[in-house]
A and B are shown apart, each in its own frame.
Chain A
Amino acid sequence: MPNIHDDPAALKALQDQIYRENILRARAMTEEQRLAEALELTNEVFSRMHTGAMWQTGTTDSEQGWREVRRRLDRLRRTHDHGRFADQKPAGR
């Protein structure tokens, strides 16, 4: 069976098809439904991060799992914010 990753044109067509389906699905939803789904996804993602952190650190302590999630998110935020936020405003701004 051919691997689609070896065929850039076929891969692009598949990506476009998936994106098109996502757009059409979102278009069929109301604003309220889209927001509800985003919130559900967010709560689910945090739950999975917690499960993953507990598994990776080998703990059964739920609070320790959340501390690890907090530590990782803090590192991630500082990485994303690097160069985009500063503690001081330059003189004259």
Chain B
Amino acid sequence: MTVEALAAAVVAACEAEGVEHMVTGAFAYSLYGIPRSTKDVDVVVSLPSGEPLRRVTARLANLVEFEAQVQFDTLTWGRRQVGTMRGSPPHIVELFELFDDPFVQAQFARRRKMFSPQLGCTTWLPTPEDVVVQKLRWGRNKDLDDARDVLAVQGPETLDMGYIRRWCATHGTTERLEAALAGIPPL
């Protein structure tokens, strides 16, 4: 099964359960940056308070084996559930629950609807500004490269830099933003 078929299955599971979602990670990055490969399908899901993520994972049970243990990211303490495709290739699915972090909420509220011919369905994706803010916030080397690439490919002049700067100030990542901007070569 291809990675796009898996992504389409995850989107379909969310739709079937009436769960609002947003495809993030490398899928979102590649829309706005320099295309690169990925190992996983990352999706943010919005569940009504107290609703278990199990509703979505059960829909995918034939396709994906989810770990029993839910995990928390140590930056924002958001919940994540990881699963690996049962067949081959062993693509990974990561489901992130939408929670009450102000940026995560804003990012989800600003998501854009898009029909993807590759996925064969309509899905939701973050804006390029939110991809940059998110990547700078995570701050791993790969994330910082991704943020710089999106800024470079989109061009700061086409982005809402005021929005990006406001969130970077809130997150204490302004220095990372300046370093990313400085890393863009003259074009």
Contact = CB atoms under 8 A, between A and B. Distances in A.
23 contacts: A20-B186, A23-B185, A24-B187, A31-B31, A31-B114, A32-B116, A35-B30, A35-B35, A36-B117, A38-B30, A41-B37, A46-B89, A62-B88, A66-B88, A70-B88, A74-B84, A77-B82, A84-B73, A84-B140, A85-B73, A86-B72, A86-B74, A93-B77
B62 interface: no
A73 interface: yes
Interface in B1-49: 2-4, 26-27, 30-39
Contacts of A70: 84, 88, 90
Given A39-B4, A44-B37, 5 more contacts: A41-B35, A66-B89, A81-B71, A85-B71, A93-B77
Interface string B35-71: 1111100000000000000000000000000000101
B71 A50 contact: no
B37 A50 contact: no
A42 B11 CA distance: 19
Main secondary structure, interface of A, reads helix
Interface of A: 16, 19-20, 22-27, 29, 31-32, 34-39, 41-47, 49-50, 62-63, 66, 69-70, 73-74, 76-77, 81, 83-90, 93
Nearest to B1: A43
Interface of B: 2-4, 26-27, 30-39, 69, 71-75, 77, 80, 82, 84, 88-92, 114, 116-118, 140, 149, 152-153, 155, 184-187
A18 B43 CA distance: 32
Contacts of A86: 71-72, 74
B69 A37 contact: no
